[in-house]
Amino acid sequence: MRHAIARRFHAGQTGEVDGIPFRILRGKKKPDDLVLELYAGGQWRRIRMDLGFLLAAFFFENEEVLYPPSGRRQIGGDYYMRECWDAIYYGWESAAQKLRQERAQRVQRLMFANTTPEEVNFEHKYPRLKAVDRTMPPKGGQ
């Protein structure tokens, strides 16, 4: 395998992410094919790559809007992509654990400064144009 030392996922593997159960089953394309299913809406649903692309595009864009690139360090979408590579190299659990630790550190910093994540002290001092505020030209030449 190109990026991982050994395959981490295997048929029969189960778990839960954010309260959503998942399982890995054998696929049908080739002998080593695996498929991912999530339990949602009272049934197991096979997850296709389309959903992965949607999730990647959504999280990249969201991070890019919240933390625009500054040139000084990897933030925004670059941060998200770096963490995706960490998930590939070191496992998704490792990347998820790192994210939880960073969130906890942020909460600690806010508590130390007597602020909360809901406060918008930064936003009113340093407003920025968000993607939803930008006008988009119509598609198709209309």
pTM beyond 0.85, yes or no: no
> What are the structure tokens assigned to 102, written together?
């960073």
25-51 tens-digit pLDDT: 999 999 999 999 999 999 999 999 999
Dist CA 104 CA 55 (whole Å): 23
Judged against a pLDDT cut of 90, whether residue 142 lies above it is answered with no
Tokens encoding 72: 């000084």
Encoding tokens for residue 83? 């963490």
> Domain boundaries in the chain?
1-47, 53-141
Q: In what order do the strands lie in the sheet with 20-26?
A: 14-17, 20-26, 34-40, 43-47
